[in-house]
Structure 1
Amino acid sequence: MARVVVTGAAGFVGGAVAHALRGRGDEVVALDAARGPGVVAADVSRPGDWEKKLAGADLVVHAAAAGMGGVGELPPIRGGRPVGSPRIPLARMRQVLLGGTATVLDAAARAEVRRVIHLSCVSVLGPDIADGIDETAPVGLTGDPRADTLAAAEQSVSAATASGLSATVLRLGDAYGPRAGRWTVWPVLLLRAGRFVLLDGGTGWLNPVHIDDVVAAVISAADSPRAGGEILHVTGPEPCTVAEFVGYYSRMLDLPAPRSVPAKMYGALDEAAVAVGRLRGRVESRRVPRPGSSATAPRAAGRSTRPAGGAREPLGDAAGGQTLGPSARSAALGIVRGLGARLVAGVDPRGRMDLGPLTVADVTRTGRCSGERITALTGWGPRVELADGMSRTEAWLRERGLLGVSEPSRRG
């Protein structure tokens, strides 16, 4: 029996991993900023008493995240439909994804934890990727704050590994299944609302991986000494296009396929919506600075990976642009409202197009990711075929009332 600490244990992936580890007899310490049964309340993005929980741990699974489109980030739901889109402040997302990673790595090093599994995402590769891309491909700035912050967190793990910590980065594909927000609950709710759209016909590639396969991959990587110090892709048995993937949800709902719009047009409208929100003072700019501004991962000093003075921000100032005074803001809003109404009426007669937490980059990938290396090192391979995984997902969605009741549950 091993002692395992799981961060983000109230979330989609962390919760599933903690449940599986308990099921095989491990002693699991579940940490999460959100309270839940069997979960110790802890904000791992900041140093605190929670670090004492790592004493004597054999393994840490770092699954804590923010801004990933989880169920906990759903806005209010009315009439079975989400009211608005998720907008997690950039500062909070960075604090959790990057600062939290540095803090957890530092605590694990000081506690002499034998193994750390850090969960990342294939989105760090960006949308323009070669077919069959593997873990040796270089990672640079993509222009997507979430993907670039995840990439900076991966650099923190690499620095910790170079300092002697046995850590593995698992880049998850497009994880779906029961309790999945980003690739399950969000698309379903937006399809029901008539707001989900396919970009460029939905021809972008996805790498769907069912949550059961994700859990098995985490455990296999943790149990395999050969996986230490590696970055590994975790993908399902069959890539598919966005149209094929979303088609499963459309059929569950007995709806036609969502309409298609040009990706460039949707991206422009999405940026306009963010600009309006920024003028209103409700959301931050998602603009990413040029390379060389402050996009550096924290360095390890000895075996410590916590930067002096706290975690660095990888993407520069989140505010971006100038601050408008009240009168100027009011005038600008009037202009944007007038132009926006005419623009939306011309291109989207039904009122709105929405991908929820998904970005243009998420649904316009030009290639598929290879998952062969994790099999070679650990023996793990995906077992849940897409049709089977979607059947399991449909059963959960129906049980939760998410395929047709007026007020679907938001609880996982």
Structure 2
Amino acid sequence: MTTVLITGAAGFVGSAVHRQLRGDSAELRLLVHRRPPEEDSGARLVPGDLTRPDTLRGLCEGVDTLVHLACTVDEDDPQACELVNDRGTVALIAEARRAGVRRIVHLSTAAVYGEGPHRGAAENDLVPAPVSAVSRTRLAGEGAVRAARGVVLRPMFVYGPGDRWLIPQLARTLTALPVSVDGGRARLSLVAVEDLASAIAALARADRAPVPGGEVLHVNHPEPVAVRDLAAALTQHLGVPGPQADISYAQARQLLAGRPRELRHLSLFGQDHHYDSSGVWRRTGHTPGGFAARFAAAAPWYRAHLAPLAPPVAAAAGPSESETP
């Protein structure tokens, strides 16, 4: 029987991947740090801490496939990013190589490409240029995975049930500051969490031919979503106020002068950030759902879990890069 080890199985993406794989014939092992998954699948729970390599020794013995989804996304704590995303990944991959793990699937982020605009770039078209501790350390962790002939997945923005960052923060931002930038024309790569999980699960399964070692794959819906359409969906399904005014990108930069984090968020949502993701769907045979249908299906979860939408304007920064996968 194939044995699959999943890290980050209690998280947003990890719990969706866990659900996808638990019906397979494979034996599942889940690395547990702070909390176990909410759903009991009968998987074997193994303790470990990516910040303490000594706790990872022997973790991968008998494992055929490693699905590494765990990371930290706290851009205010560069040290934690270094310990988990970089050094922790390096230590975990070293254990996988020592144990002879045959297949490694690692979740990173398209935020490693840094500032845009990016329009339809394929995996080899851009040189990564990360601009935060989160993306720098996630890129560094990718290096160990690719050296071990694993596959690296780079989604941009992930949404759906379990998302406590992207849509909630965008909703708070638009509530506090209901304006659009350049008419909301910027287009973004999004992927529903269930579609991302399906791609990860397909690449992890033993009955599928492995992706060529060291390859990077974008994992987003083939069609980007315009920011105005994203905002309209929040208005329709979540009652978020629509824009009351429109300003130019240059005006927005002037308004946010001296606020580097907010300027970073502006660059993410005020400029195109979309990537060619055709390769992953061709390899996995999965057809991702469209944004309108997927968001409508997720709306009840968002309505039940959104915090009160009344932050001070100064705190309304929009979804941060660290809040993407």
TM-score, normalised via structure 1 length: 0.65
Q: Which of 206, 210, 220 is the aligned partner of 1:235? A: 220
Q: Which of 165, 182, 206 is the aligned partner of 1:182? A: 165
Q: Does 1:361 align with 2:267?
A: yes
Tell me the equivalent position of 1:256. Answer: 241
Tell me the equivalent position of 1:149. Answer: 137
Q: Does 1:375 align with 2:281?
A: yes
Secondary structure in 1 matching 2:13: helix
Contact 1:232 1:373 in 2 (8 A): yes
**Could you say if the C-alpha distance between residues 405 and 126 of structure 1 is closer, same or farther in structure 2, counting changes exceeding 3 Å?**
closer
Tell me the equivalent position of 2:192. Answer: 210
Q: Deviation per CA, 1:173-218, whole angstroms, max 9, x where unpaired? A: 31110001332232234445x2475444433221111111101100
Tell me the equivalent position of 1:61. Answer: 67
Quote how far apart the aligned CAs of 1:118 are: 0.6
- Please list, as runs of the form range in 1=range in 2, the aligned pairs for 1:256-275 lying within 5 A after superposition: 256-258=241-243, 260-263=246-249, 272-273=258-259
Partner Cα separation in structure 1 for residue 141 and residue 305 of structure 2: 37
- Please list, as runs of the form range in 1=range in 2, the aligned pairs for 1:158-173 lying within 5 A after superposition: 158-161=146-149, 167-173=150-156
Secondary structure in 1 matching 2:58: helix
One-letter amino acid of the counterpart of residue 189, structure 2: N
- Please list, as runs of the form range in 1=range in 2, the aligned pairs for 1:182-331 lying within 5 A after superposition: 182-192=165-175, 194-195=176-177, 198-223=180-205, 224-229=208-213, 230-258=215-243, 260-263=246-249, 272-273=258-259
One-letter amino acid of the counterpart of residue 107, structure 2: L
Q: Which runs of 5+ in 2 are unaligned?
A: 311-325
Q: Which runs of 5+ in 1 are unaligned?
A: 69-86, 162-166, 275-285, 287-353, 407-412
Secondary structure in 1 matching 2:240: coil
Identical aligned pairs, as a percentage?
29
Partner Cα separation in structure 1 for residue 286 and residue 11 of structure 2: 24
Secondary structure in 2 matching 1:31: strand
Greater displacement, 41-50 / 235-244: 41-50
Contact 2:65 2:104 in 1 (8 A): yes
Contact 1:34 1:41 in 2 (8 A): no
**Could you say if the C-alpha distance between residues 401 and 66 of structure 1 is closer, same or farther in structure 2, counting changes exceeding 3 Å?**
closer
Greater displacement, 241-250 / 251-260: 251-260
Contact 1:252 1:403 in 2 (8 A): no
Tell me the equivalent position of 2:302. Answer: 397
Quote how far apart the aligned CAs of 1:64 are: 0.8
**Could you say if the C-alpha distance between residues 404 and 124 of structure 1 is closer, same or farther in structure 2, counting changes exceeding 3 Å?**
closer
Contact 1:177 1:210 in 2 (8 A): yes
Partner Cα separation in structure 2 for residue 159 and residue 371 of structure 1: 23
RMSD between aligned residues = 2.9
Partner Cα separation in structure 1 for residue 116 and residue 172 of structure 2: 28
Partner Cα separation in structure 2 for residue 196 and residue 36 of structure 1: 39
**Could you say if the C-alpha distance between residues 246 and 2 of structure 1 is closer, same or farther in structure 2, counting changes exceeding 3 Å?**
farther
**Could you say if the C-alpha distance between residues 22 and 135 of structure 1 is closer, same or farther in structure 2, counting changes exceeding 3 Å?**
same
Q: Deviation per CA, 1:237-285, whole angstroms, max 9, x where unpaired? A: 42111221132112223333245555456557667457xxxxxxxxxxx
Quote how far apart the aligned CAs of 1:58 are: 1.1
**Could you say if the C-alpha distance between residues 239 and 36 of structure 1 is closer, same or farther in structure 2, counting changes exceeding 3 Å?**
same
Contact 2:56 2:95 in 1 (8 A): no
Partner Cα separation in structure 2 for residue 185 and residue 33 of structure 1: 26
**Could you say if the C-alpha distance between residues 255 and 172 of structure 1 is closer, same or farther in structure 2, counting changes exceeding 3 Å?**
closer
**Could you say if the C-alpha distance between residues 157 and 270 of structure 1 is closer, same or farther in structure 2, counting changes exceeding 3 Å?**
farther
Number of residue pairs matched? 300
Greater displacement, 263-272 / 2-11: 263-272
